Structure 1
Amino acid sequence: MDPIRAAAPMLWFSLCFGNILEAAVLGSLQYPSGMDDNGLVSHLDEQARRKPTTVYRKSLPINDTIVPHDYMVSLYRTLSEIESRRLNSSAPQTARHANTVTSFVDRGQDHSSWGSGQRYLFDLSSLSRTDELVEAELRILRKPALENLPVLLGGNLYELLLYTCSSVGNSGRQLLDSITIDILDGEPSKWDVFDVWASMKAQRRSQRTKAGKNRLVACFDLVVISELTKEAANPLTVGLARQFRQPQERALLVAFSRTRRKENLFKEIREQMKAVRRDVGSLDVLDLSDVVAHKPRQRRRRTAITSRSIGGVGGGGGGGDSGGGGGSGKGGGSGRRKTRCSRRPLHINFKELGWDDWIIAPLDYEAHHCEGVCDFPLRSHLEPTNHAIIQTLMNSMDPDSSPPSCCVPSKLSPISILYIDSGNNVVYKQYEDMVVESCGCR
């Protein structure tokens, strides 16, 4: 394919979204009646227990595959559905706001020495240090081995204690959270969730005071205590073994953050292009054609999730009460007849743009666009500004004095995107102003 032709749709897309920003992902979403924050988490946990969707090629090595956790898939599906329901909602927004949810997979390994606890490590290098961290949680999958249950000398009740890591021994670490588990509760597997927000906030503040750009690593120690003997127990015996686990079964650190400054989709596109340049070993000037021209990076190999299989709401909203509705997309009817300003179809396919190696869902959506003339007299449903009315009137009297007003979007709505960032972390984000709901003359 001609590189210029390949880059054209990307250039158009990037320029159109030069100022999209600030979606309220978690907190600002309007929850359906009867569902609060805790209800949402319970709903996501219930979905995560279901049979996972296979989203990677089993023939590939696990370490070369980026596999979205079921929790992130459920988050995308649930929150995008909630967002579609809140378009006509007048319910007040919740106090906490977040526009980004980033997941980090555990990189720790099990060791024979477990007396000081089981260690979990997370590379947070790609987490922006300028964003406000509004919530953070550590999710650990517990899968008790049935053959171990009859021989457990510590009984069936255990306390899981989560500590910060310390370089000076157990005395220097801080208790973050604790939960009590019953290994005979009948559940074959369960995700235990720990609150690590305060610890991560303190660590980020400490990191900002240090000179240089040191890699930010989150480290936690999990200690298992028997309620019966009051002694430490081997984490592996209660179902916390990490060996031979699938990528989507490893512990997950989830950070809910809010961007302080305005950013747009083009920022993530630029990060993807930089990563492509690093992979091909080139230091040339970045070009928009890079994301289309180069093949997907081998370390990101996976089977893309289609919008239909993952669920959720990736497409555009309804026709809108103002601005000409959906439009037929057939142009102006007869050859010389001009159609008035209205909303027309515009289908965006991320796969055709070459972005399916980093966008997980949706792979396509209905963006719509505005097209048509704004001639005098302007219709009230086009909601023209006073300036547009005067400009259109002047144009009707003297076409050479000024151009007619323009047919542009008057109402836009967001969509949710689940993607892989440049650090190979799965991220959920809502991007504003992605779908044209109605058109007007400006």
Structure 2
Amino acid sequence: MLGAVLLLLALAKPVCPSPAGAGSQRAEVLKRLLEVFGMEDPPPPPAHFKQPPQYMVDLFNTVANADGVTKNPDILEGNTVRSFLDKTHGEKMRFLFVLSSVAKNEKILTAELHLFHLWPRVTDRPKRHHVCQVNVYQVLENETDAPGGKKLLAARLISLQGSGWEVFAITQAVRNWTEDKSSNQGLLVTVQGLDGSPLDPPLLQFASGRDHHESKKPMLVLFTDDGRRGASPAMASFPDLQPQVPILPAKMPVPKLTGLRSTRSLNWLQPCQRHPLSVDFEEIGWSGWIISPRGYNAYHCKGSCPFPLGENMRPTNHATVQSIINALKLSEGVSSPCCVPDKLYSINLLYFNDDENVVLKQYDDMVAGSCGCH
């Protein structure tokens, strides 16, 4: 976290004109910041305006506040959610998702096929069916009717009335595809009557990527975990990110100890506390690929930890002992405790990756929730 804060401070606008080497330094800082976000290079912005899937936008708003700070760490399974749009342009009930952006170190937790159920078409034929069975198969061979050509992944009865999203679990198929990319022959969806007979044409229709609005395109949603975890414990509830104001006694006692510098009294005016540290993604040139948030407040800790350390300084026992030894000069080279974050929160980024798919990723230890003397 300290390294990330130093990087963010380095990106702050300079008060004085920048020296000649500032451009290369800024580029180096941005490169290091990308490493914090687990990237080597920033993804290029989409060539044309793209609307992110509403499911991903809603998921971001569920797990994070407007600044991207995590509301509750238990909502997400893992720390990464990836969405993939169907790449087929042929059969309406055959789907293919390219998973090349999934890193080898990502653990596949859950995979879902999202299909939009269209309103039933008006036909002259009598409606003998009110529900039908939808089957989702993993395609093993191009000839799906051949023995062993497909494997059943999910089956469900769905009403012909109404419309909306239907979600099918396809985790095992995606695990197979990520282990062996050549095995990814896509998915096949069939519709049949309650007696098992195929319905041709099927009475139930799903939106296709070719013929329907982008907001209804077939989508694969993948929940993974890349193993990148912070050192701080997960917070139990929505973080209170109001500016931290130290509670000081009305009359501050002044320690009468030999060896203390007279300037130490000035430090009482600036006790350890949290200060704003804004990160503006547009300012650093990342607004083209980051969807949400537009920026966030990372905060940083600044101020002194003078003797005696009050409870408002949130000191550790070690810091209290160190403060006493420093104040009494009982040991050479022992400095006063430092003002550092003692509670850290995660943030979430919703962004377009290199393949123009939308990713929701959670990064630990990105916001200083409170400060203390350690």
Question: Normalising to structure 1: TM-score of the pair?
Answer: 0.61
Query: Which letter does structure 2 place at the counterpart of 1:135?
Result: T
Q: Judging changes above 3 Å, is the alpha-carbon distance between structure 1 residues 384 and 143 closer, same or farther for their aligned structure 2 residues? A: same
401-410 or 350-359, larger mean C-alpha shift: 401-410
Structure 1: which 5+ runs fail to align? 22-61, 88-92, 208-213, 265-314, 326-334
Aligned to 1:127: 102
2-structure distance, mates of 1:164, 1:152: 33
CA contact (8 A) 2:70 2:346 kept: no
2:59 alignment partner in structure 1: 75
- Structure with the largest fraction of helix: 1
Pairing 1:249–2:216 present: yes
SS for the counterpart of 1:74 is helix
- Identify if the C-alpha distance between structure 1 residues 358 and 242 changes in structure 2 by more than 3 Å, giving closer, same or farther: closer
Quick one: distance in 1 between partners of 2:35 and 2:176?
Answer: 34
The total of aligned residue pairs comes to 321
Report the Cα distance in structure 1 between the residues aligned to 2:342 and 2:191, rounded to whole angstroms: 57
Pick from 135, 138, 153: which aligns with 1:176? 153
Q: Which residue of 2 is the match for residue 318 of structure 1?
A: 241
Q: Separation in 2 of the partners of 1:402 and 1:229? A: 80
Partner of 1:108: 88
- SS of the residue 2:97 aligns to: strand
Cα deviation, 1:152-188, whole Å, max 9, x if unaligned, reads: 77745332211111325322211111222332x2x2x
Partners of 1:86 and 1:169 in 2: how far apart? 44
Counterpart residue number, 2:78:
98
Query: Which residue in 2 is equivalent to 1:348?
Result: 279
Residues 346-399 of structure 1, C-alpha deviation per residue, up to 9 Å, x if partnerless? 222221121111211111222221111111112223232344334433443459
CA RMSD of aligned residues (A): 3.9
Contact 1:344 1:370 in 2 (8 A): yes
Q: Secondary structure at the match of 2:64?
A: helix
1:317 and 1:197, CA in 2 relative to 1: closer, same or farther beyond 3 A?
same
Give TM-score scaled by structure 2 length.
Answer: 0.71
| Alignment partner of 1:437 is 2:369 | yes
State the shift of 1:345 in Å. 1.8
Say if 1:16 and 1:163 are closer, same or farther in 2 by CA, change over 3 A. closer
Q: Does the aligned pair in 1 maintain the 2:243–2:275 contact within 8 Å? A: no
Cα separation, 2, equivalents of 1:19 and 1:375:
33
User: Kindly tell me: are residues 151 and 263 of structure 1, through their superposed partners in 2, closer, same or farther at Cα, counting changes over 3 Å?
Assistant: farther
Residue 424 (structure 1) aligned with residue 347 (structure 2): no
| Structure 1 residue identity aligned to 2:361 | K
Identical positions, percent: 27
Name stretches of at least 5 consecutive residues in structure 2 with no aligned partner.
1-16, 39-45, 232-237, 248-265
What amino acid maps onto 1:318 in structure 2? Answer: L
Q: Is the 8 A contact 1:345 1:366 kept in 2?
A: yes
Give the CA deviation at 1:437: 1.4
Counterpart contact for 1:320–1:437, Cα < 8 Å: no
CA distance in 1, matches of 2:281, 2:272: 27
What secondary structure, in the 3-state scheme, does the structure 2 residue paired with 1:355 have? coil
Q: 1:13 to 1:77 in 2, by over 3 A?
A: same
Name the counterpart of 1:339.
Answer: 270
Aligned residue number for residue 413 of structure 1: 345
SS in 1 for 2:96: strand
Kindly name which structure, 1 or 2, has the bigger radius of gyration based on alpha carbons.
Answer: 2
- Maintained 8 Å contact 2:71/2:239: no
Aligned to 2:131: 157
